[in-house]
Structure 1
Amino acid sequence: MSDTRSDTVVTGRAGIEPDADVIVVGAGPAGATVAYHLAQSGLDVLVCEKTTFPREKVCGDGLTPRAVKQLIAMGVDTTTEGWVRNHGLRIIGGGVRLELPWPELGEYPNFGLVRTRYDFDQILVERAQQAGARLREQTNVQQPIIGDRTNRVIGVRARGADGEPVDLHAPLVVAADGNSSRLSVALGIRKREDRPMGVAVRTYFTSPRHTDDYLESWLELWDRSGDRDVLLPGYGWVFGVGDGTSNVGLGILNSTSSFQSVDYRQLLRRWTASMPEEWGFGEDNQVGPVRGSALPMGFNRVPHYSRGLLLVGDAGGMVNPFNGEGIAYAMEAGHRAAEVIAQALRRPTVQSRERTLLSYPRILQETYGGYYTLGRYFVRLIGNPEFMKYATKYGLPQPMLMRFTLKLLANLTEPHGGDAMDRVINGMSRLAPAA
């Protein structure tokens, strides 16, 4: 246990013994990953989760090679039952059906995975517990505790399973509490309106396509249930889950003119009704309700560190604007946050600890800032229906262009060297302003 934690907390409110070195609020992919790596570094970590495991979570359930790399780093065995390996991305649009294998890179594995979120998060949390982290389920964190003298976060106030309030103290708190992030809002860290936001809805269907070994993305959503073909806003996906069902969903971005007025659940029903009957995407084969969630993109909440609180995952708006992927970036940020925290808590003075903690938002900006800026430009472009029609008509038939697009959208390049495509994408990301 760190010998600096009690000293740090006492400076905020005299006489209070800390409950952990670090409190992590939220046990999704971001929270579980940061907890795992903190525990691996020898710190005492307490994870507060408002629900119990296993639990339902709205997601496409698809994992790109970036996410697989993080699973490997956590020692998760993905060869067991329930993990479905995929070889790449199938893109459908403009009358074209194109299969693009994941690129062969030294930095990332050449395969993706599908695993339902019903137990995915639980698997990650259990890895954190095996590393030494402690988990408190049914602990609903209400607000941060601010030190009287330091004006820093020194813990959290929560309600336990019995509804009774409980105060938990630690020198550092990690906000992995999702898009709404009570902790961030309490510190005045609010969402930026100039960042993209998406909405995703999905459901499951019993389908013969459940063993499909490609993630499938539809760039055009056509409603062919009436007398005429209607192009619907957004993009769709079909991911085989391997358990007899397919995860079928769609996303729409706030750059689309109809973002505010769309009935997303009805939109999904209209789209799936137009699918071939043999795929099984009809109401009789639907498993569970249609569920939706927000996609906070491109660092829509900053700063990612303030006064003893670090933001990871959806709390910090870390979803990739290019493709709506959130799990990989939540886990990567969790890993980086853990490295910074472990270094900070072993610094000898308050000032040196703070300097180290302030490196966390800088690291995130250097890693993703320029790339996310490119993503914001991309979001504005695809919100234009005329551009999308042109892009799908003339872009999809070009295999080399689409291989470049896959690398760009999935952020899969060699960081140093690589081929010409890698160098172009990395150069664009470096030159784009990381604002």
Structure 2
Amino acid sequence: MTEPPSDTADAIVVGAGPSGATAAYHLARAGLDVLLLEKTAFPREKVCGDGLTPRAVKQLVAMGIDISPEAGWLRNRGLRVISGGMRMELDWPQLATFPDHGLVRRRDDFDERLARQAQKAGARLTEHCTVTGPVRDDRTGRITGVHATLGGDRRPVTYRAPLVVAADGNSSRLSLGMGLHRRQDRPMGVAVRTYFTSPRHDDDYLESWLELPDRPGPEGRLLPGYAWVFGMGDGTCNVGLGVLDASLPYRDPDWRGILRTWCAGLPEDWGFTPENMTGPIRGAALPMGFNRQPHYADGLLLAGDAAGAVNPFNGEGIAYAMESGRTAAEVIAQARARRTAEGREAALRHYPRVMKDVYGGYYTLGRAFVKLIGRPRLMRLATERGLSHPQLMKIAFRLVNNLTDPTGGDAVDRVLNGLTKLVPRA
């Protein structure tokens, strides 16, 4: 499945996760010769809740991917929220902009589906290709390609292209090589998850538990995040926790231990016990709220986790990875059509503005939200009282999941869209 590529292309995409595969697909569809470089080989595992909101579903449809149940996708109607001894089922809203359902699929299969779709569109995928750093023009400092090692023998190779998309995840070695470091004033989160065989595997709703203590008993401090149970439809459940702000008053929390303790407090017949665990507990960082900028500089565009594009409200990353990958591809395609170098660069420099226009105000609100729920008293009040106000919960549900129609829509759309326009787009 992996073929040695030629050493030149119109664009190089580093990383074949959701952002990279989506970027490569749309670049290829626009007629560009694109190299998609992946350091591992498919199938491969990634830490994720495996739940896809309507935002992600929209991007899958745009890539022409078969999302039918017959193709192995499990649909869900919305989110079941549990807090303060109460539960509420919130359906995905009926909108003109987004589908009215979500999906579930394991990441070890999901990412490969996207990468193979990019291949079908014409992208040249190379697996077992570890990018070690940028190739830069000595005179201008622009990126002109990447250095990499290929295969099990780690043979050094160099690939060249006038434009490169960094879709290489949170650590983004390529971004660091270009001098783009993570902003320390932006939130970082953490997620840990595992799988259990469980009778709860076939569920019409994703499930979120808002009360997540750091230890059992009355002395437990509520963490600024949530736990989840997502039925996979295959006899297993993805069970995990996401903490939206990891800046806690103590260092190095035992996240895996917290997840084990939380699972131990659930009903025994759900099967979330060590003997039913089908794999280890794994963890990953959640780079949120545009924590690496600028999103374009010197021929390099950032997408997905490399751009810090995770939603600060709920830790969702896949939808924003795919959206940013598609946007990067569209900007590159438009730039390639310009007749002069100055025109091409003007189009490329528009990418950070597009990102901020789409997400900037919303992510500013999200960062404020992270600070608020980092206060234990406020977090406890919200979890105890929230579900007793159904209309407020429905509005909060749409805000947290960023699901509105940008034009027209109902009163909730207009209020939420207005909020994102009133705050700075930073």
Match of 1:14 in 2: none
Match of 1:13 in 2: none
Match of 2:202 in 1: 211
- The answer on 1:366 being equivalent to 2:353 is no
Match of 1:115 in 2: 105
Match of 2:242 in 1: 251
Deviations 1:155-187 (A, max 9, x none): 000000021110000010000000000111111
Distance 2:250 2:55 in 1: 29
Change (3 A) 1:63 1:137: same
- The answer on 1:87 being equivalent to 2:73 is no
Match of 1:73 in 2: 62
Aligned 8 A contact 2:198 2:271 in 1: yes
- The answer on 1:338 being equivalent to 2:311 is no
* Letter of the 2:13 counterpart: V
Change (3 A) 1:223 1:274: farther
Aligned 8 A contact 2:244 2:314 in 1: no
- The answer on 1:271 being equivalent to 2:262 is yes
Aligned 8 A contact 1:93 1:220 in 2: yes
Q: Residue 224 of structure 1: CA displacement?
A: 8.3
Match of 1:43 in 2: 32
- Pairs aligned (count): 418
Q: Residue 251 of structure 1: CA displacement?
A: 1.4
Match of 2:15 in 1: 26
Aligned 8 A contact 1:220 1:231 in 2: no
Secondary structure of 1:90's match? strand
Aligned 8 A contact 1:25 1:49 in 2: yes
Q: Residue 383 of structure 1: CA displacement?
A: 1.0
Aligned 8 A contact 2:35 2:125 in 1: yes
Secondary structure of 2:195's match? strand
Match of 1:12 in 2: none
Equivalent residue for 1:260, pick from 251, 259, 266: 251
Change (3 A) 1:303 1:225: closer
Aligned 8 A contact 1:82 1:242 in 2: no
Distance 1:357 1:368 in 2: 18
TM-score norm. by structure 2 comes to 0.96
* Letter of the 1:354 counterpart: E
Aligned 8 A contact 1:252 1:259 in 2: no
Match of 1:63 in 2: 52
Aligned 8 A contact 1:255 1:380 in 2: no
Secondary structure of 1:386's match? helix
Q: Residue 147 of structure 1: CA displacement?
A: 1.2
1:231-250 correspondence to structure 2 within 5 Å: 231-233=221-223, 234-250=225-241
Match of 2:191 in 1: 200
Deviations 1:140-166 (A, max 9, x none): 000000012332100000000021110
Distance 2:7 2:50 in 1: 37
Distance 1:294 1:223 in 2: 18
Secondary structure of 2:57's match? helix
Deviations 1:40-97 (A, max 9, x none): 0000010000000000110000100000000000001011342110000111111110
Distance 2:149 2:403 in 1: 42
Change (3 A) 1:255 1:49: closer
Q: Residue 229 of structure 1: CA displacement?
A: 6.9
Match of 1:380 in 2: 371
Aligned 8 A contact 1:256 1:384 in 2: no
Distance 2:10 2:278 in 1: 42
TM-score norm. by structure 1 comes to 0.94
Distance 2:214 2:24 in 1: 44
Q: What 5-or-longer segments of structure 1 have no aligned partner?
A: 1-16
Aligned 8 A contact 1:299 1:316 in 2: yes
Distance 2:421 2:48 in 1: 30
Q: What 5-or-longer segments of structure 2 have no aligned partner?
A: 1-5
Aligned 8 A contact 1:253 1:259 in 2: no
Match of 1:3 in 2: none
Q: Residue 257 of structure 1: CA displacement?
A: 2.4
Match of 1:320 in 2: 311
Change (3 A) 1:259 1:433: farther
Distance 2:211 2:21 in 1: 35
Deviations 1:280-339 (A, max 9, x none): 000010010000000000000000000000000000000000000000001001111111
Match of 1:159 in 2: 149
Aligned 8 A contact 2:222 2:380 in 1: no
Aligned 8 A contact 2:49 2:239 in 1: yes
RMSD: 1.4
Q: Residue 350 of structure 1: CA displacement?
A: 1.1
Q: Residue 221 of structure 1: CA displacement?
A: 2.0
* Letter of the 1:132 counterpart: G
Deviations 1:380-405 (A, max 9, x none): 11111110111122221111100000
- The answer on 1:311 being equivalent to 2:311 is no
Aligned 8 A contact 1:89 1:101 in 2: yes
Secondary structure of 1:392's match? helix
Match of 1:144 in 2: 134
Distance 1:18 1:280 in 2: 51
- The answer on 1:410 being equivalent to 2:401 is yes
* Letter of the 1:153 counterpart: I
* Letter of the 2:379 counterpart: M
Match of 2:3 in 1: none
Q: Residue 18 of structure 1: CA displacement?
A: 6.0
* Letter of the 1:375 counterpart: G
